[in-house]
Every structure is written in C-alpha cells, then in structure tokens.
Amino acid sequence: MAEPLVLAEKLEGGVGLLRLNRPKVLNALNVDLMKELAERVQEMERDPEVGCLVLTGNGRAFAAGADIQEMAGKSPVDMELSEPFASWETIYRCKKPIIAAVHGYALGGGLELAMMCDIIVAAEDAQLGQPEIKLGVIPGAGGTQRLPRAVGKSAAMEMVLTGEAISAERALQLGLVSQVTAPEVLLEEALRLARSIAEKPPVAVRMAKEAILSAYETTLAEGLRWERRAFYFLFASQDQKEGMAAFLERRPPQFKGR
C-alpha cells in the first residue's frame, strides 16, 4: 500500500496531530495530498474526543508550496473544472482550532496553508515567504489577502513583490506567527498549546474562533454585534453554568461540552 500523504494521529489530551508526508519534495502540496488532508481534518472535526488540531510537516520543511511539477502544465479550464479550492476550503472552514507548527520552508501554498490555520508557531529555522512572483504568477490560495491582514500592507507588498522569504524572528515581529521556539521543541510547544485549548469548553472555543475570524470578514459594528450574540448564546450552555459555579466554589470545572 502507498504511504499516506498525510499522517494522522489522535493523541492524549484531545489533540489531533496531522503531518504532511511528502518529505522528498519538501511536502509539496499536490491535489491528492490536499484531498487527504481535507479528509483527515473532517474526520477530526467529527470526532468529539478531539478538541484541537496541530498541523506540521515531515522532514526538513513544513511545505515548499503547491506542487510545481503538477501545476506547470495546467490550463485555466483544467483549474476551473477540477475545483482545486474545495480541499483548501474544507481546512479553513474547520470549526475546531488548528495550530500550524512550522519549521524549515513554509513557502507559497505552504505559507497560505499555515495562514488558514488559527495559530502559527514557528521554529527558529523557519523561512516564510510567497515566492510565486518568481514563477510568473501571484499567490493563489489567499496570500494576497491573508498576508496583508497579518503583517500590514508594506511588509506584504515587500514579500509578495520580491518573493523573498522572511525569518521566523521577523515573522514574530510582524505578528505573522505567535511564537518562535527552538526547532527541537517546536512540536512539543504546539502540542502544549493544543492541549490547553482542548481542555477548554468546546462550545465557547468554537464561538471564540468564529468571532475572531469574523473580525477579518466583516465591519467592526457587525463583528461586535456577532460577538454580543455569541456571548449571550453561551449563557445557554451547561459549561457556562459549570465554569462560573466552579470559580465561585473555588474548584476546578468539569466541562461536558454541552
């Protein structure tokens, strides 16, 4: 049997670990890999024991982009008819948080995939960039939209127009990643964050993720209205009663996920 293109593992503490697995080509994202990734994400999304996902790469990179070999000869009609975005959309529509643990190269579609996740943690050796301009194209999986929202216009322009990658340290300064670790503890730190999220009441986690994402998709007024409705809604959950009662009774909460 062929080696899976995505390795999936359920870990203790409610964490699902997904590992891109084409190390010989620096985890270049071909159509089959993206389909497998979408399937694994959906399985974990349906699994009530999983509260948070971690996505990482195998070998010396997170992902060096979409598979150029596969993409080079495509026509616009091929792309329109094969709907290559379907799998990518499954990932960013996942209701559970996804942490990208990025080491080595995160280029082109690799960085775009990381930016579709909710938190990016980077190893000191990470190189993050949108080199598509060097291939005669532009970012095609959200880079021109998510990157400026993360780092601002000037830095995004610099990265997209020169195609030059930035270091993990620079990505931290710009707010593209939330923390930088030594390469040997990257996964450990990502898993620690994931366990911390997975132990929180899942309905509130979903609402919090959706509310923050709405900050990128709507006006401030509409986002604030959405936040208020979600806040009120959470008072219908058993976990809100339990969380607040536990605080008042000075004991640890026992969340039920309802």
> With binding defined as CB under 6 A, does residue 64 bind ligand DAK?
yes
CB of residue 29 to ligand DAK, shortest distance in Å? 7
> With binding defined as CB under 6 A, does residue 105 bind ligand DAK?
yes
In the set 65, 104, 132, 190, the catalytic residue is 132
Total residues interacting with ligand DAK, rule: CB under 6 A:
22
Helix, strand, coil distribution of the chain in percent, nearest 5:
50, 15, 30
**Tokens 């938190």 sit at which residue?**
119
The DSSP output letter for 17 is E
Among 14, 84, 201, 202, binds ligand DAK (CB under 6 A): 84
> With binding defined as CB under 6 A, does residue 57 bind ligand DAK?
no
The DSSP output letter for 66 is B
> Among residues 141, 117, 85, which one has the least CA distance to residue 190?
117
Residue closer to ligand DAK by CB (options 69, 219) is 69
Residue closer to ligand DAK by CB (options 102, 191) is 102
Among 6, 17, 20, 28, binds ligand DAK (CB under 6 A): 28
User: In one letter, which amino acid is 24?
Assistant: K
Q: Which helix (H) or strand (E) holds 54?
A: strand 52-57
Question: For the residues of 72-134, what is the DSSP string, one character each?
Answer: TT--HHHHHHH-THHHHHHHHT-SS-EEEEE-BEEETHHHHHHHHSSEEEEETT-EEE-GGGG
CB of residue 16 to ligand DAK, shortest distance in Å? 23
Respond yes or no: is residue 70 known to be catalytic.
no
Respond yes or no: is residue 109 known to be catalytic.
yes
**Contact partners, residue 10, CB within 8 Å, separation at least 6:** 16, 17, 44, 47, 49, 50
In the set 61, 66, 114, 123, the catalytic residue is 66
> With binding defined as CB under 6 A, does residue 107 bind ligand DAK?
yes
CB of residue 159 to ligand DAK, shortest distance in Å? 12
- Active-site residue set: 66, 109, 112, 132
Q: Which residues bind ligand DAK (CB under 6 A)?
A: 25-26, 28, 64-69, 79, 84-85, 88, 105, 107-109, 131-132, 135, 140-141
